[in-house]
Amino acid sequence: MSLRTGPFPAVALAAASLLLLTGCAGATGRAAPAAEQKSASATASGPAGQPGPQAQIVRAQEIPALGPGTRAQLSPANEQAVVVVGDDADSNQSVAMLYERDPVQGWKPVSDPWPAHNALLGWTDDHRTADHRSPIGVFGLTDAGGKLPDPGTKLPYDEAAAFDAPGTGFEGEPLEGSFDHVVAINYNREPGTTPLDWTRPLGSEKGGGIWIHVDHGGPTQGCVSLPLERMKDLLRWLDPAKQPVVVMGDLASLSR
């Protein structure tokens, strides 16, 4: 999957560079016991009177931007992760990358960094209705939809005219087409329903309707937005059998 060039926030770009540079190097963090295996080339002993070669340990790679608290929110069943790292707590610019979990090697990046937007005022771990901040955390991705036909996702996809985005954004940019394709983020919603379902298990005061959707060139109300072609790539990549999640927040929060 190729990166479409665009403006990157400085801290988020540095974070993305860290992901690329260390994503295949093991990074820091504890290794999963099941993923530690002795190399097949190691033997119990060498020639008579000489020690054999030391066993090689394969440690599962972690997603480098994530600290132990965030990693603990990932289930062993989660084999796909969309990692959205914000510039800082008050920034509306971020970078997204896709990761897949290999049963032995651990998490491996499978995309370049993609430019993204988040909410106007940045991030929060206590999202409220109309606070203009995106919720921080790890959330399931189970349902998709849009105004345009399904581009080929394995997720349930609700094509409907109700995915309409009239008006303009915070910077005067037209919102038309923003909901051509969306993936519902399972924050304060019922998984397994259309993104248009407005059930709010945590109550209406905790907000909802948080999606990954098509970028309109400016900050969002609380969603994460990606360029149109990246949205199509994302939809085709997501596989419900791999229990995908989005891991989203500013760099400082995610590294805890």
pLDDT digits (tens, 9 = 90+) for 234-253: 999 999 999 999 999 999 99
CATH number at residue 149: 2.40.440.10
Q: Is 20 part of a structural domain of the chain?
A: yes
Average pLDDT on 131-153 reads 98
Residue 145 domain boundaries:
10-26+52-254
Which residues have CB under 8 Å from 171's CB, separation 6+?
Answer: 217, 218, 219
Q: Is 166 part of a structural domain of the chain?
A: yes
Tally the domains of the chain: 1
Cα dihedral value 62, 138, 85, 234, nearest 10 = 90
CA–CA separation, 230 vs 68, rounded Å?
A: 29
DSSP-assigned states of every residue in 103-145:
TTTEEEE-S--EEEE-BTT-EESS--TT---EEPEEEE--EEE
Q: Is 35 part of a structural domain of the chain?
A: no
Q: Is 42 part of a structural domain of the chain?
A: no
Q: Is 40 part of a structural domain of the chain?
A: no
CB 127 within 8 A of CB 207: yes
Handedness of CA 154, 155, 160, 165 (dihedral sign): negative
Structure confidence at residue 60 as a pLDDT band (50, 70, 90): confident
- Flag whether pLDDT at 92 surpasses 60: yes
